[in-house]
Amino acid sequence: MASKTFKQALRSSTLRQLTSTVPPKRTFVTVLSKTRAVKSPASRASGIASTQQIRGIKNIDFAGEKEKVWERQDWPAEKLLEYFKNDTLALIGYGSQGHGQGLNLRDNGLNVIIGVRKNGASWKEAQQDGWVPGKNLFEVDEAISKGTIIMNLLSDAAQSETWPAIKPQLTKDKTLYFSHGFSPVFKDKTGVDVPKDIDVILVAPKGSGRTVRSLFREGRGINSSFAVFQDVTGKAEEKAIALGVAVGSGYLYKTTFEKEVYSDLYGERGCLMGGIHGMFLAQYEVLRERGHSPSEAFNETVEEATQSLYPLIGANGMDWMYAACSTTARRGAIDWTPKFKTALKPVFNELYDRVKDGSETQRSLDYNSAPDYREKYEKEMQEIRDLEIWRAGKAVRGLRPENN
């Protein structure tokens, strides 16, 4: 529970940080923010009020390990247009990623078409986004037949389900693109055994497709990882990087299909969603069981975290956060960190084992392939919505000025 002093210290420290004219210590974050903004030719062409940041970082020292980072600067719009001038990018599936990546490709001026089930939810959404049936919106098979680069952005379960129909259409000279290593890495479970005579590449944005789109529109760009599963032409890596930029990445980090899928499944089950939700629930329940009101329990568990502390940790790091809070808060947080780490590390190890041995993949395929998965999912969402913590949260959010 944050003390008054803590909140005051935080507020004044935040203010200092935001208003300070003293150059901050040179960190990766500050290096990234030292950029010059110019209007990109692609944004000029598409009429989008977008700026492209010029950056000059290649070899970055990540805590003692040097890694090469690929950046958008190397692929200006003219180069992308030239590179893909003979390509038709057939983007299959129009969920969160299909929407974000597809619209960014279109705004970059590339020849992109969408392939989805006729009259499904995605078909309608694609039409709402300006894709025109018969022009750049087709059924899946027709889009694949027209495409030279097939971007498989179906749901992971659907990639497995549709593979027997899709595989024979992936003829020599086409390229197969994924945004997740899931299907080919766990081919024993998914059945996705890629043809041996085509390039198979991956660009995995580190965020929702909605963020892929919003960062592109802001002229920024999302961090993505890229990987090559199979290089037949000798150009697979270059193609992956170019596509990564074309779909809206600002920085691209090299990985393998295996590492991408292990870290992604692990992260979303852990700190990104599952783990953090479990921690919210545990903390909230104890506060409620000890007599605290719903609003107090929610504010001390979720609201202060998401509205104040987490964005500051994101912007400045944990050491900065400790330095910015009261001595009381700092002492307690530092003392309790190892206890939480010790309690949680075995859970994280169990989770990684289950990801690596394919158990989590099997669970996801079984659940998401069931004909009634949407109903089951909706039931679970309703249960979460009905939890007291999230009902209290709704009321707290309702008091925010923008929601009043």
Ligand X SMILES: NC(=O)c1ccc[n+]([C@@H]2O[C@H](COP(=O)([O-])OP(=O)(O)OC[C@H]3O[C@@H](n4cnc5c(N)ncnc54)[C@H](OP(=O)(O)O)[C@@H]3O)[C@@H](O)[C@H]2O)c1
Task: List residues binding ligand X (CB under 6 A).
Answer: 93-98, 116-117, 120-122, 153-156, 158, 161-162, 179-180, 182, 204-205, 208-209
**C-alpha span between 30 and 203 (Å, rounded):** 26
Helices 4-19 and 327-356, interaxial angle, to 10°? 80
Task: Report the Cα–Cα distance between both ends of the chain, in Å, rounded.
Answer: 27
Q: Smallest distance, Å, CB 323 to ligand X? A: 33
What gap in Å lies between CA 257 and CA 173, rounded to an integer?
Answer: 21
Shortest distance (Å) from residue 2 CB to ligand X: 31
Q: How far is the CB of 288 from ligand X (least distance, A)?
A: 32
Q: Which long-range contacts does 194-197 make (Cβ < 8 Å, 24+ apart)? A: 194/170, 194/229, 194/230, 195/167, 195/170, 196/230, 196/232, 197/172, 197/232
Tokens 């049936």 belong to residue: 133
Strand pairing class (222-230; 199-205): antiparallel
Give me the amino acid identity at 320.
Answer: W
Nearer to ligand X, 251 or 298 (CB): 251
List residues bridging with 223 in a β-sheet: 251
φ, ψ of residue 164 in degrees (nearest 5):
-55, -30
Spatial separation of the C-alpha atoms in residues 365 and 157, rounded to whole Å: 5
Which residue lies nearer to ligand X by CB, 164 or 314? Answer: 164
Q: Which is nearer to ligand X, 3 or 223 (CB)?
A: 223
Nearest distance from residue 239's CB to ligand X, in Å? 18
Residue 268 annotated as lining a ligand binding site? yes
Beta strands in 156-314 (DSSP E): 175-178, 199-205, 222-230, 249-254
Please, which residue, 205 or 221, has the CB nearer to ligand X? Answer: 205
| 165 CB burial (10 A radius; 0-12, 13-18, 19+) | exposed
Cβ 100 vs Cβ 203: under 8 Å: no
CB of 266 to ligand X, least distance (A): 14
Report the Cα 371 to chain-centroid distance in Å.
27
Catalytic, out of 99, 180, 277, 292 = 180
Instruction: Decide if 180 is catalytic.
Output: yes
Say how far apart CA 75 and CA 244 lie, in whole Å: 10
CB of 238: closest distance to ligand X in angstroms?
22
Q: For ligand X, which is the closer residue by CB, 98 or 270?
A: 98
Q: Is 12 marked as a binding-site residue? A: no
Tell me whether residue 33 is annotated as binding.
no
Q: Which is nearer to ligand X, 136 or 179 (CB)?
A: 179
Active site residues: 180
Which amino acids are annotated as binding site, given as ranges? Answer: 264, 268, 300, 304, 326
Q: Which amino acids are annotated as binding site for Mg(2+), given as ranges?
A: 264, 268, 300, 304
Annotated binding site for substrate: 326
